[in-house]
A and B are shown apart, each in its own frame.
Chain A
């Protein structure tokens, strides 16, 4: 037992280190981010005062950077909750170290998705009209509803598994002001049997609930485009296409976050190559799936050869937006497949590189969905061009910076790797997995070699199992 608690104190120490210790790098990073944010805030103030005239938007390019950001950020948000929920439900043991960092992304990034939409409004002061005077036939209102629900659910889903860890920190920081906050947040968690049971159930319930909501969110985001009658927006596959893209970019974002956390918080022992390998493979699968959708979508438009669709198609593939498009194809398909399908290059740094590429590529994908259609409206007489102004760039940069800042602050305030889940993994997971693996195999294997593979584990029940019985 002593040995074990030593183990745990090591785990606790490792995982709480980012909270207890603050290095110079932290301040430098925060300062830089704050600088970027303040430029963005300045730009935003200007935009609020002057109206959207300070952006590069025009007629007929009514949507630009902000909407791209919106779709992109909502996409990223799928990283977290969806992946974590799927992995939880699938009982994938390797999930334990990564779920939280994933869930945080969801909650934080959703906020910036919404912020970009508000930012895009000509009259942000009338935002609440969507509630007071909402017309439910508009897909934009579906968005409002589904994103709000998603935000609430994923916040709960983030918070629930956080409770035991908060309680741990409450105990750790007793007496300080920090401790007081943790005490409030811990909601009186004492770690009783009943509480664990409720928590377990709640987490499972939320995991089940969150998956359809997450899928619906990005489907509905895609509907914003798909429900119009504009060429190459009005597409039936936009729902699954967007969801795929969302998960794809989400995984990439998660991987980047993991790599950075691993490095900066010295969690090499927790975030192991196997995690990266597994997620990397998932990324590869999503890349292929994404390419399939992209291919289908564009081929259909090309083959149908409706003039208005073709105009958009060519703007994308050979015209003004071709550079973006082909960079996107390279970053989202060629590079990932090349790197990830090879075991030798599927290293942490390789995966980091690919993930960064995918993030950029997926942003470009949103951009090449939003803009080519807008510059080529159906009436062939009207044509437009779009160049973002510094205001849009600054606000976009500030969104990214603010997201990173909030993420860092989260890491500063809460353990980014779930402590209790790691503990649980050791105590329950190992056995359960053995049991499960055993259940996959034909019974004959065990009959021949009695007391073989899993016998030891079964005979050494964990503390919690003991409590159970």
Chain B
């Protein structure tokens, strides 16, 4: 009996030992003896442009046998000079994301469900084309709308041209910089961004500006930061409620009550004015309404009050003001962060007035205005009567009535008017990566949108929130697979045009949006098609690029030495052609990756001030109450204020969800890879009995989400900070990641002037969650 057992044990043991050992030893998947991996091993470096963010850095992609393997910076590109940010580095994960849509999809069954059927491109295009023609024939072309992202390229031109010819005024782009643009429009008559000459500036007075992490020209700023830190000739003062990356790199961090940045700026202005520390010559020559501004300041601004309302000590205000004057040239910068509060326009105008006081506009180390790259304009469109009539229809969102000349189109109004069918209902909506803010808003309104818009087409290359709305998906390629140009953000002082070549052929059955539109245009009838005479998008692109050759300015990307020479020559009015024909120019352009004009011409008054007076206009028509308006109602139930901040390189788009390499590093300061965290001041945490790394609920009247509490001395005792655009799963799909999106906590309040959502005034409470 006993022996029998033993035998059994032996056999069983023998078997159980040998099998797992075998499975372990023969690690099949890692011994590449499979027969199909015969690679030619041909290696190429393809110059292109990264469009993972609005920056448009030059990249070189290493391609081995039609596989894109690694991204490096294009050393000749003047913006990034061979460097790439983490998002750009992770870009290939976007290209090879498992979430890519493989081909045109049609929604079947209930619109609320996501059941898809694969269809052919012919069928898909046919469906869209028929729909568009029907609407046009019945005189409803204006009820077609397009929502896309704000980008500086020819695609933008093509899309707006398409809808103009088609006859729809409803071409919407979400722009997070709108508040800033409005402010420059008010003060200088330019509805655009101004460039900041950080390179020559000796003091950066930053009002919550994420110039090292979230500006489109981050790479330029990072490089300048590195160089100037090495030289030691840079001082940064960061004024922000939270100890951000910029604050941690600044020489001084000044915490401030949220939303009162403008007031602090006025406080500083009052010191400058009272102590006569401003640039009188500039103010006299280039500004208007200064006297009103001065009397407004002198009458209304008391430093004690400013100090109390902003939470910044009096001594600090005076110190900043003096430093701002002495460390000339100094710039006061702000960005879209200030626009996410109910008094955004005031804040930005107040900050910008400091630059006028210091005379830092159109001067080295100050605010400059980028010249547009001289690409060929598209030929004028010929509109038929349908289009002409439709274009006279009211746009689907009106600008809010205001005492100031504003030009903003806002998400909220657009979606609300679509949902409410006022002034008219939208019959067909096209969505093409409309941006994070937009996406989060349409998600909230998903049911209403589905209820009021009968036909929605998404161009998204990924299965995401927009595709969940769509009835039809016409998958766009990623930017790695198509021809594209990219014009540098107006935040850089020099115009750069980068050429993005397809790095590999489009994967799966995806097609570039541009060629989809050109194909559609051809199906819309002779009259329509004659406005789009290009056989493919590449042809259109090169047509535009030829303007760069004809303009007799700038040069194709070249070494920094050549670039410096060119700049010196050009600024003295000389220019020598480097290419003897257009073809040679285009060939070189595609090889080097783009064109730039390194020269900058100062003192072109009419270019910098485009308002009637050709002067900087001081605005003083603010109520002081307006200024401190951010003080939302104290609420015992919700004692803390929620501070939402953008993580580095995440602003304005949701594509980063598909980049796990990049996403996992966003929480590096808090030792977090995937979880959403909430930053709590040690004092607050102590009072609430919350320990570091506890799992807590963050609850606002709108709902609650789970997060990891991190005790963080870099945030004030009455605030809790939470990151935006952080996913919790490496390969985000099916809305998994949205459960904990802090945007769900926001109350629906908006800046009345610009319609930009206010993410500063929501109050929350936090408490420990049970379990994990």
Residues of A within 8 A of B13 (CB): 41
Which residue on A lies nearest to B9, using beta carbons?
A: A34
A288 contacts the other chain (Cβ, under 8 Å)?
A: no
- Per the 8 Å Cβ criterion, residues 1-60 of A in contact with B are 22, 27, 30, 34, 41, 44-45, 48-49
Residues of A within 8 A of B20 (CB): 44-45, 48-49
Residues of A within 8 A of B6 (CB): 409
Binds A, one of B21-29, B37-45, B414-422, B715-723: B21-29
Interface of A is mostly: helix
Would you list 15 pairs from A and B whose C-beta atoms are within 8 A, ordered by A residue?
A: A27-B1, A30-B5, A34-B5, A34-B9, A41-B16, A44-B20, A45-B16, A45-B20, A48-B21, A48-B24, A49-B24, A123-B24, A124-B21, A125-B24, A412-B2
B19 contacts the other chain (Cβ, under 8 Å)?
A: yes
Docked CA distance A422–B9 (Å): 34
Given A41-B16, A44-B20, A45-B20, A125-B5 contact (CB < 8 Å): no
Docked CA distance A49–B23 (Å): 6
Residues of A within 8 A of B5 (CB): 30, 34
Residues of B within 8 A of A45 (CB): 16, 19-20
Docked CA distance A266–B378 (Å): 105
Which residue on A lies nearest to B23, using beta carbons?
A: A49
Residues of B within 8 A of A124 (CB): 21, 24
Which residue on B lies nearest to A381, using beta carbons?
A: B671
Residues of A within 8 A of B16 (CB): 41, 45
A132 to chain B, nearest CB (A): 15
Given contacts A34-B9, A48-B24, A49-B20, 17 further A-B contacts (CB under 8 A): A22-B2, A27-B1, A34-B5, A41-B16, A44-B20, A45-B16, A45-B19, A45-B20, A48-B20, A48-B21, A48-B23, A49-B23, A124-B21, A124-B24, A125-B21, A125-B24, A125-B25
B380 to chain A, nearest CB (A): 62
Q: Which residue numbers of A lie inside 8 Å of B, CB to CB? A: 22, 27, 30, 34, 41, 44-45, 48-49, 123-125, 409, 412
Contact with A along B66-90 (1 / 0, CB 8 A): 0000000000000000000000000
Docked CA distance A45–B22 (Å): 11
B297 to chain A, nearest CB (A): 48
Interface of B is mostly: helix
Residues of B within 8 A of A48 (CB): 20-21, 23-24
Residues of B within 8 A of A125 (CB): 21, 24-25
Docked CA distance A126–B314 (Å): 70
Docked CA distance A27–B4 (Å): 12
Docked CA distance A34–B9 (Å): 9
Docked CA distance A41–B20 (Å): 10
Docked CA distance A367–B221 (Å): 51
Question: 10 nearest interchain CB pairs?
Answer: A48-B20, A125-B25, A45-B20, A48-B24, A125-B24, A41-B16, A49-B23, A49-B20, A45-B16, A124-B24
Residues of A within 8 A of B21 (CB): 48, 124-125
A14 to chain B, nearest CB (A): 21
Residues of B within 8 A of A123 (CB): 24
Most buried by B among A44, A125, A412: A125
Docked CA distance A30–B4 (Å): 13
Docked CA distance A27–B23 (Å): 34
Residues of A within 8 A of B24 (CB): 48-49, 123-125
Docked CA distance A140–B582 (Å): 70
Residues of B within 8 A of A412 (CB): 2
B7 to chain A, nearest CB (A): 13
A27 to chain B, nearest CB (A): 8
Residues of B within 8 A of A30 (CB): 2, 5
Docked CA distance A28–B20 (Å): 29
Docked CA distance A45–B19 (Å): 8
Residues of B within 8 A of A22 (CB): 2
Which residue on B lies nearest to A34, using beta carbons?
A: B9
Docked CA distance A34–B6 (Å): 10
Residues of B within 8 A of A44 (CB): 20
A42 to chain B, nearest CB (A): 8
Docked CA distance A45–B23 (Å): 10
A251 to chain B, nearest CB (A): 31
A218 to chain B, nearest CB (A): 29
Which residue on B lies nearest to A412, using beta carbons?
A: B2
- Per the 8 Å Cβ criterion, residues 1-59 of B in contact with A are 1-2, 5-6, 9, 13, 16, 19-21, 23-25
B394 to chain A, nearest CB (A): 59
Docked CA distance A27–B5 (Å): 10
Which residue on B lies nearest to A38, using beta carbons?
A: B12
Docked CA distance A409–B2 (Å): 10
Which residue on A lies nearest to B20, using beta carbons?
A: A48
Which residue on A lies nearest to B17, using beta carbons?
A: A41
Docked CA distance A124–B24 (Å): 8
Most buried by A among B20, B21, B23: B20
Which residue on B lies nearest to A177, using beta carbons?
A: B3
Docked CA distance A45–B16 (Å): 8
Contact with A along B268-289 (1 / 0, CB 8 A): 0000000000000000000000
Which residue on A lies nearest to B27, using beta carbons?
A: A125
Which residue on B lies nearest to A125, using beta carbons?
A: B25
Docked CA distance A48–B18 (Å): 11
B694 to chain A, nearest CB (A): 15
Contact with A along B221-241 (1 / 0, CB 8 A): 000000000000000000000
Docked CA distance A30–B6 (Å): 10
Docked CA distance A41–B19 (Å): 12
Which residue on A lies nearest to B5, using beta carbons?
A: A30
Docked CA distance A48–B23 (Å): 8
Which residue on A lies nearest to B2, using beta carbons?
A: A22
Residues of A within 8 A of B9 (CB): 34
Residues of B within 8 A of A27 (CB): 1
Docked CA distance A45–B20 (Å): 6
Docked CA distance A91–B357 (Å): 102
B174 to chain A, nearest CB (A): 39
Docked CA distance A44–B19 (Å): 12
A8 to chain B, nearest CB (A): 27
A386 to chain B, nearest CB (A): 16
A401 to chain B, nearest CB (A): 13
Docked CA distance A426–B21 (Å): 52
Which residue on B lies nearest to A383, using beta carbons?
A: B671
Docked CA distance A412–B23 (Å): 36
Docked CA distance A277–B20 (Å): 47
